Structure 1
Amino acid sequence: MSTPPPPGPHQPQGSPGQPQGPYAQGQYPPPYPYGPPAAQGPYPYHPYGTYGRSVPVNGVAIGALVLGILCFLPAVGLVLGLIALVQIRQSGERGKGMAVAGSVLSCVGLVLWSLLVSTGAASNFWDGFKGAASGEGTAFALARGDCFNSSTGSLEGETYDVDEVPCDDQHDAEVVAVVKVPDGSFPGDDELADIADDKCYEHAGLYALDAWAVPDGVDVYYLVPTRQSWRFGDRAITCMFGSTDGKPLAESLRRDYMTLDGYQVRFLSASNIIDNVLYEEPEAYPEEDLAANRAWAKDVHRVLGEQIEKLRTQPWPEDAKAPVTEFLAEMGDSRKEWGKAAAADDADTFYAHYEKAYGFVDGATTVTARKALGLDTTVPTYEDDSDSGGEGGSGGRLDV
């Protein structure tokens, strides 16, 4: 860049207006070989134009500075800073200060990360973050046996906040289990729903061994992780009882090994095993597939024999011995009918023994035995789900 002349008149040596030295008249020395520059006013002449062109800033230096400030990937920031210094030295670009600052900050970041990893502070920070997300009043904090009200007033859709309440108070739901899903990539909503259907009904049966004590209009619901909560380590499916008719639950439905005595657990366990095999009835009618129905009747006959023998050999309270004995005798009569159904040669014969066998299920002796053992005596009603097309009852899901 040229230097402006000092203020005031300036006249070179020699004759006014005549170039001096070896150049002839009409010729001009460099840097003006083609004549003097146009008048520039008070500003100096610039060889690159009126405004000039600034030297560009090295882009790698900018990246190094950004990574250094954010302390994100400090090793990458340090490498970028070193590369930028080499490029600036070769190209003459600006940004040396940025490259140096980014390298220094990245070195500091590397030291800090090393300390976090070596002392376990990084792990503690992540655990603390998840712990905060699992704090009281959130769906992540629910455990088996907890009762709560949904912040949305519904057990379907999405929720985060819940209001935990005593199970003796009115509540929307009661947790029966918390099932952990293996780590990995997000399995998808459908896969999580399949896992929940499979596990939650199983755990509901263990939580409420006495199915007669579960009111009509109560079914199984579940909380499942969303794609967003999965990113923060949410791997829990929360299984729960909830009302299907919008009416709140009035008491705890828990009837498991923690709340029942040994006699009650023994009786209920045998009854539930029998119920489970009865639920496996083939979808095809006997006139459509007699062989499948005969095979199922044979399984019922076998399971009844096993459970009757097990209950017969167990001790019972004095005031429950006679009622349990009568119950077992009636189950023996039912077993005989199932054996005859398993040997039926046609659908009509199968139906005749099938109906007699079912006539003993949940009969008067069952109610008397349950009463003697201190169990619920309200005979449940069974809905025909054959046309529903579903597999898990009428429950639903609640995403967190």
Structure 2
Amino acid sequence: MYEPQGPGTPIAQPYGYAYPPGPPPQRPKTSGLAIAALVLGLAGCLLLPLLPAFILGIMALSQTGPGKQQGRGLAIGGLAAAAFWTIGWIALAKNTMGDLDRHTASPPSASCATPPAGHANICTLKPGDCLQQPMAAVTSVELAVCESPHTTEVFGAFTAADGPWPSGGEMKAEALEHCQRIAAKNVDLPRLNAEGVYTTLGYLKPEREPWEGGVRTIFCTIYSPDSQLTGSALVPGADLSIPTG
């Protein structure tokens, strides 16, 4: 039943009504530095963005968090990505330097023990040395005075292809190809033939231990089994570099 309201009776306000209505709450902005740090960190495969990613990521950490701008997770993600790529670049640099060391003309010192007096090994031998030794892979060779009769003279060197240690005659074809080329310009073959000196081409390769240590230098030799070599068999101005030619 309707009951009229008398004069002076207050009118009830509806529940849930706020007067006057307030503005909607502002959502914190996402840090631009955090976004930039994440983008640069993910682009760390290009190397150059790594340093800016670390700098912006650290700056973003200071301006994000509770009561501050949003994006702390983005900043952490950018730093993590930059750290990941940094580790990858360091590993790549170490592998690259290792490859350079394995192919350098100067063999690793760990594989280069000092030979006995009057001897040389694969690490100390050099083109122009005269020897008293057989044609084989050896630990050390006996040096000789070139003016005296000797069996062998080193006339050049080349760097062998990388791979497992070549036991037996596995190196022969590669050695003959390089040594014949070097002999054609370094060895005075017409003089030896005119003097009736019997010679054959040979080579000296590293033993297993220095080979596995990274030594790849192969020395080309001219060999006279009856010690018919007297004086140097090299032409004047021969190229004695390592590798030769």
Into which bin does the TM-score normalised by the smaller protein fall?
A: 0.3 to 0.5
TM-score using structure 2 length: 0.45
TM-score using structure 1 length: 0.29
Going by fraction, where is helix more abundant, 1 or 2?
1
Give 1 or 2 for the bigger CA radius of gyration.
Answer: 1
